[in-house]
Amino acid sequence: MKKIIFTLPGNELLANSIRTKINAVAGEFITRQFPDGESYVRVLANVSKREVIIICTLHQPNDKIFPLFFLSKTLKDLGATKITLVAPYLAYMRQDKKFNSGESVTSEYFAKFISSFADELITIDPHLHRRHSMSEIYSIPCKVLHASGLISNYIKEKIKNPLLIGPDSESEQWVSEVAKDANAPFIILQKERSGDTDVKVTIPQVENYKDYTPVLVDDIISTAHTMMETVGHLKKAGMKAPVCIGVHAVFAGNAFEELKNSGIDRIVTCNTIQHVSNGIDISDLLIKKPDKG
Which range has the worst mean pLDDT, 71-75, 194-198, 276-280?
194-198
Cα 187 vs. chain centroid, distance in angstroms? 23
Question: CB–CB of 246/218 below 8 Å?
Answer: yes
Cα distance between residue 48 and residue 96, in whole Å: 37
Question: CB–CB of 93/128 below 8 Å?
Answer: yes
pLDDT tens by residue, 166-202: 877 777 888 999 999 999 999 988 766 666 656 666 7
Strand partners, 269: 246, 278
pLDDT tens by residue, 193-239: 666 656 666 778 877 898 999 999 989 999 999 899 889 888 888 89
Cα distance between residue 208 and residue 63, in whole Å: 47
CA dihedral 65, 71, 73, 78 (to 10 degrees): -170
Cα distance between residue 143 and residue 120, in whole Å: 8
For the chain, how many residues are written? 293
pLDDT of residue 289: 57
**Could you tell me the domains of the chain?**
4-147+283-292 (3.40.50.2020), 148-271 (3.40.50.2020)
Distance in Å from the first CA to the final CA of the chain = 29
Cα distance between residue 91 and residue 234, in whole Å: 31
**pLDDT band, residue 292 (cuts 50/70/90):** very low
